[in-house]
C-alpha cells in the first residue's frame, strides 16, 4: 500500500486545501457555491480513491453521498435560495480578502506544526493526511467567522464537514458507524438548517444573521 496510490490520495487532499483557499478568495455568492460544489466533488473523488485503495466498498457510499448531496443538491438549492432572495450580486466580508488568505496560510502552517511531532508509531501518511484535513477544517471555520451572510456561513460549515470526512475516510478501517453517522448528521444538519432558513426567511425576509441580531432587544 505505498507509492502512487498514496500520492494520489495526497494530491486530492492537497487539492481540497487549495479549493478551500479559493473559497476564502471568493467574495460573491454564486462563484462561492461553484467552488463549494467543486470542493465536494474533490472530496467524493478522494473518498472513492480511499475506497479503492483500502478495498473498503462501503466508502463508495460515502463518496456517492458526497457527490450527489454535497456537490449537486446542496449547491443547487443554495443557488436557488440566493436568487430568490436577490442577494446574488454581493457578498461582504468582514475581514479583507488578503488578510483572510494570510490567516488561512497561517492556519495551514499551524496545523502542520501541530502534526509535526507525531511519533514514528503513526504512519507518515496519516500525519500528512490529518494535517491537510485539519487545514480544511480550520479554513472552513475561518470562513464561517469572516463571512456575514448565512449562505456563505453554511458554505463554510460544509467545507468544515468535508475536512472531517477527509480525515474519517483517510483513517484506515474506521468503522462504518462513523461513516454513516457523518453522513447522517450532515443530512440532519442540513435539513434543520433548511427548516430554520425557511422559518427565518419567512419572518425576517433574509438570511443575513446580522438582521437576526437586531431582534436581540435590550431585555436580557
Residues in the site for other proteins, rule: CB under 8 A? 94, 107, 110-111, 113-119, 121-123, 126, 130, 133-134, 137-138, 141-142, 144-145, 147-148, 153, 157, 160-161, 163-164, 167-168, 171-175, 177-178, 181-182, 184-185, 188-189, 192-193, 196, 199-200, 203, 209-210, 212-213, 215-217, 219-220
Per-residue DSSP letter, 206: -
Q: By the 8 A CB rule, do 144 and 157 touch?
A: yes
CA dist 145 and 75 (Å) reads 20
Q: How far is CA 189 from the centre of its chain?
A: 13
Measured from the CB atom, the residue of 7 and 92 that comes closer to other proteins is: 92
Q: What is the nearest approach in angstroms of other proteins to the Cβ of residue 18?
A: 20
CA dist 98 and 150 (Å) reads 21
- In this structure, the dihedral spanned by the alpha carbons of residues 188, 167, 176 and 162, taken in order and rounded to 10 degrees, is 30
Measured from the CB atom, the residue of 19 and 168 that comes closer to other proteins is: 168
Measured from the CB atom, the residue of 34 and 125 that comes closer to other proteins is: 125
Q: What is the nearest approach in angstroms of other proteins to the Cβ of residue 24?
A: 14
CA dist 7 and 129 (Å) reads 11
Measured from the CB atom, the residue of 42 and 207 that comes closer to other proteins is: 207
Q: By the 8 A CB rule, do 139 and 20 touch?
A: yes
Cα–Cα nearest to 78, from 162, 163, 190, 189? 190
Measured from the CB atom, the residue of 11 and 114 that comes closer to other proteins is: 114
Q: What is the nearest approach in angstroms of other proteins to the Cβ of residue 39?
A: 15
CA dist 83 and 91 (Å) reads 13
Amino acid at each position: 500500500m505505498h507509492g502512487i496510490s498514496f500520492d494520489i490520495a495526497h494530491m486530492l487532499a492537497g487539492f481540497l486545501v487549495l479549493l478551500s483557499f479559493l473559497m476564502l478568495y471568493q467574495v460573491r455568492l454564486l462563484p462561492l457555491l461553484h467552488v463549494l460544489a467543486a470542493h465536494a466533488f474533490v472530496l467524493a473523488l478522494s473518498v472513492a480513491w480511499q475506497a479503492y485503495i483500502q478495498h473498503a466498498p462501503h466508502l463508495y457510499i460515502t463518496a456517492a453521498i458526497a457527490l450527489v448531496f454535497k456537490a449537486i443538491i446542496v449547491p443547487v438549492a443554495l443557488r436557488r435560495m440566493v436568487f430568490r432572495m436577490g442577494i446574488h450580486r454581493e457578498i461582504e466580508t468582514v475581514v479583507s480578502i488578503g488578510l483572510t488568505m494570510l490567516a488561512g496560510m497561517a492556519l495551514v502552517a499551524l496545523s502542520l506544526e501541530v502534526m509535526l511531532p507525531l511519533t514514528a508509531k503513526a504512519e507518515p501518511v496519516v500525519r500528512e493526511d490529518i494535517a491537510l484535513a485539519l487545514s480544511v477544517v480550520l479554513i472552513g471555520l475561518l470562513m464561517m467567522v469572516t463571512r456575514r451572510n448565512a449562505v456563505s456561513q453554511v458554505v463554510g460549515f460544509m467545507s468544515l464537514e468535508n475536512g472531517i470526512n477527509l480525515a474519517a475516510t483517510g483513517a484506515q478501517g474506521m468503522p462504518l458507524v462513523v461513516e454513516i453517522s457523518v453522513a447522517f448528521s450532515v443530512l440532519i444538519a442540513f435539513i434543520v438548517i433548511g427548516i430554520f432558513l425557511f422559518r427565518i426567511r419567512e419572518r425576517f425576509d433574509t438570511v443575513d444573521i446580522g438582521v437576526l441580531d437586531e431582534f436581540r432587544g435590550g431585555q436580557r
